[in-house]
Amino acid sequence: MDPLAYWIGFNKVRGIGPARLRALLDYFGSVEQAWMAPADALADVGLDRRSIANLVEARRTLNLAAELARVQKAGVQVLTWEDERYPQRLRMINDPPPVLYIRGELRPTDDWAVAMVGTRKASAYGKEAARILATDLARAGVTIVSGLAKGIDTQAHRAAIDAGGRTLAVLGSGVDIIYPYENFKLAQEIIAHGALISEYPLGAAPEATNFPPRNRIISGLSRGVIVVEAGEQSGALITADFAADQGRDVFAVPGSIFQRGSIGTNRLIRDGATPVLSANDVLEALNMTSVSQHVEAQMLLPTDATEALLFEQLGEEPRHIDEIGRATGLPIATVSSTLAVMELKGLVRTVGGMNYVRARESGPVYKID
């Protein structure tokens, strides 16, 4: 059976999240062996009785082949931790979702993404701020990530599309369940100009408990998070907390001290978030002022023999520039200057101390037909 079926199976078992699935994979060596493991072995890994019972029941009742066929028939792409196309920025957070369901397309250029979130009860000021910021960022080549909710999220997605840009919506339901339903048409447009993304299986309802965890994906996909308008208890503040924990920059649009809808954003600024007066504030802070040039260059392959030679020397393990120079026999000045150009193209990345790795995000566009 296709291993993807077992990933889908685990995704439907309550009580087995990223940490427990990682432990199972480390112990049994493969997702198939973990699915087939006897109950006593599952207990040895540290699963509690309820999680074991849920898994045993899932193995008894789920037709994995049918579940996989259902996903494929729906035209939904499934990415797992084992897939090289899994977004690398998201992969690096503490608890990346083991499975991502995608309707639309993810592109390597979506690495240049900024999240924009805020209250569902947006004021005219908040809606206009979201529209202007998302428009200017999208025109600069930035992918806008949000959650398809009413208010600020809706404005951010709409503005990005109207500006001819890309946008990703992370759902708190299955990608086949659009919530709120009034955004059904917008969701279809997002599929055509980006993607709907969820860690929840097809058919999953938009339960209230799903939304806080999905916020870690919104921030995890992004280089920074902009909170446009948020009250004291806004869910957008949860996204800001995730962003801070993940090492992402947090931005906030200042508002009137007399407006309840600006309490959250003003407090973020008081506590250290960067105030946003224009899209340039975000682009400069994230060193994204030349996104369009980066995006254009990122799609290129090595263009000469020197680039190709250096590219072949690199993989997932960091290699120091001196080691690369010795392996290729090239002058260190040539190695240094060529690697700098290749980094601009998105072919390689520096990981500190003059060490380089291949940039896994470089490559073709991945699309769902």
pLDDT of amino acid 360: 53
Is residue 247 predicted with pLDDT exceeding 80? yes
137-170 pLDDT, tens digit each: 999 999 999 999 999 999 999 999 999 999 999 9
317-331 pLDDT, tens digit each: 889 999 999 999 999
Query: Is the whole-model pTM more than 0.85?
Result: no
Is residue 364 predicted with pLDDT exceeding 50? no
With pLDDT > 90 as the criterion, what percentage of the chain qualifies? Answer: 78
Report domain extents, the chain.
3-73, 103-288, 300-359
Looking at every residue in the chain, the average pLDDT score rounds to: 90
pLDDT of amino acid 232: 84
The answer to whether the 3-73 and 103-288 domains have the same CATH topology is no
CATH fold for domain 103-288: Rossmann fold (3.40.50)
pLDDT of amino acid 292: 53
CATH fold for domain 3-73: DNA polymerase; domain 1 (1.10.150)
Q: Greater confidence, 88 or 170?
A: 170
Three-class DSSP labels, the chain: CCHHHHHHHHHCCCCCCHHHHHHHHHHHCCHHHHHHCCHHHHHHHCCCHHHHHHHHHHHHHCCHHHHHHHHHHCCCEEEECCCCCCCHHHHCCCCCCCEEEEEEEECHHHHCEEEEECCCCCCHHHHHHHHHHHHHHHHCCCEEEECCCCCHHHHHHHHHHHCCCCEEEECCCCCCCCCCHHHHHHHHHHHHCEEEEECCCCCCCCCHHHHHHHHHHHHHCCCEEEECCCCCCCCHHHHHHHHHHCCCEEEECCCCCCCHHHHHHHHHHHCCCEECCCHHHHHHHCCCCCHHHHHHHHCCCCCCHHHHHHHHCCCCCCEEHHHHHHHHCCCHHHHHHHHHHHHHHCCEEECCCCEEEECCCCCCCEECC
Cα 236 from Cα 227, distance rounded (Å):
7
CATH fold for domain 300-359: Arc Repressor Mutant, subunit A (1.10.10)
